[in-house]
Structure 1
């Protein structure tokens, strides 16, 4: 009995000491538009999530504070930020170095339902 208790306690200690790792999360986008960045003037991608997807994204970011995550569109990583705090509110602003017209094309594909948007913890 005592050996079993020690084994259970050892397993519990190992599990508690591990960092939470999440599965990739597919985001359901209610609206995708290109908007100008007020500082740089370059186009940014504004993604408005559905209510359920926004809640799932808030849980995902809450579980991964401090981790770097990849935001992918059709399997191509577009940005890899480090999560500083849970992202609530259901809206994501994606900035970066895009080719002219690329943000607009991405927004159109997402709006048409032709693009898969996912977030995943980046393997470091």
Structure 2
């Protein structure tokens, strides 16, 4: 295959070849290959993104499911403890709504704090 290029481009290619100590033909081949690789990479970027997303989803799915199960178990345990406490406080004729409201406020404050439990 023969390719005609403008004189200024030929001079630049020759300069690169001389700088690298290579034949001009080798430099042209490498530049063509790099350009084609870049072209195909740009045109296939959507496909690559989909493949990466699917691979990440496959890798992360077990961890996400495990964390969801842990969260669900924690919620069930917290709910069980709350209802047992409400039942116990009710049997002692205490103001359950007021106690629950104050406890909830303290719990939210505790979750928002960045420090120790004592804060």
Give the TM-score taking structure 1 as reference length: 0.26
Which structure shows the higher helix fraction?
2
Which structure shows the higher strand fraction?
1
Structure with the larger RCO, 1 or 2 (CA within 8 Å, 6+ apart): 1
